[in-house]
Amino acid sequence: MALAWQMLGQGKAKEAETLCANLVKLVPEHGHAWFLRGVAAGALGKHKLALKHFEQVKNAPDLLPSLAQARGRIYLSTGEYEIALDRFQEALSYSPEDHQCYYYLGLIKLRQQAVDEARRFLRQAVLLEPSFAPAHFELGVLALNAGEATKAVTSFQAAAKQMADVPEVMNNLGLSQQAAADLKGAEASYRRAIELRPTYAEAWFNLGMVLKSLAPAQADAALNKAISLNPALKEALPDGA
C-alpha cells in the first residue's frame, strides 16, 4: 500500500492501480486497496471504473470522509454537480473543517454560476487553511472579473506563495497587477509565466500590451510572438495596434 501511495503521489496512477489490483487479488476484502485503486482509476479518467472500485470498500469507517470526497470529485469531473454536492456535504458531515471540501463546493457553485455561494465556500476554505493556494486562485479570478483589482492581487499573491511554478497563476497575477496600475509588477509576472511556459501565447500578448506603456520599442516583438503562437489573438489587438 505504501508503495502504491508513493506511485500515485509521483503521478504514476497506472502503476498504483496495478499494484492495488494485485493486492486485492490476494486480499479481496482489503478496503484501503480498493479505495486507492479507485483513486488511481479516477486519476486516469476512468470514472465509472473508479466508482465501481469504491463500491468494494467495506468495513473501513476511517475511510468514510475520504470516500465521500473521492466520489464527489468523480461526479464533479463528470459534470453531475448535484450528486457531487451531496457527496461533499456528506464528507463534511464526517469532517466539518475539511478545507478541501469547501473548495470543491466552491467549484461546483462556480460551474452552476452561483457566484456568491462560490465565493462564500472558497473563503471558508482559506479561512480553515490560509495557505490553500487553489482557493486563493479562484477567489482571485472572481475578484478580477468583478473589477476588484486590489483584492485580486492579494488573492493571486497568496496563491503564488504555493504555486509560483504554475504559469496561469503568474499570468493572472500580472492581469490583476495591470488592472491595479502596477505595470512593472505586471511585466515581471508575465515574464515569469513565459519563463515557465515559453509557448504561453496569452502571457506573451499580455506582456506586449503592458510594454506598450513601459517600453514601446519592445512591445511589437512580444505581440508578434503571441500571434505566431495563437493567430486568433490578432483579433484582440486594439484598433491601430
Instruction: Quote the percentage of the chain above a pLDDT of 70.
Output: 98
Residue at 215 is within a domain? yes
DSSP 238: P
Whether the predicted pLDDT of 215 surpasses 90: yes
Nearest alpha-carbon partner for 84 in 45, 110, 58: 110
Residue 158 lies in domain = 132-241
| Beta carbons of 163 and 137 less than 8 angstroms apart | yes
pTM of the model: 0.89
The pLDDT tens digits for 143-194 are: 999 999 999 999 999 999 999 999 999 999 999 999 999 999 999 999 999 9
- Quickly state the pLDDT bin for 241 (edges 50, 70, 90): low
Residue at 126 is within a domain? no
CATH number of residue 186's parent domain? 1.25.40.10
Whether the predicted pLDDT of 240 surpasses 60: no
Burial class of residue 145 in the structure, from the number of CB atoms within 10 Å of its CB (0-12 exposed, 13-18 middle, 19+ buried): exposed
Q: What's the domain count of the chain?
A: 1
Residue at 185 is within a domain? yes
| Beta carbons of 122 and 139 less than 8 angstroms apart | yes
Q: Please, which contacts does 207-211 make with residues 24 or more away whose CB atoms are closer than 8 Å?
A: 207/174, 209/178, 210/174, 210/178, 210/183, 210/186, 211/187
* Mean pLDDT of the chain, nearest integer: 93
Residue at 110 is within a domain? no
> How many other C-beta atoms lie within 10 A of the C-beta of residue 33?
24
| Beta carbons of 70 and 42 less than 8 angstroms apart | yes
> Which three cell numbers mark 26?
490476494
Residue at 21 is within a domain? no
Residue at 30 is within a domain? no
pLDDT of residue 192: 98
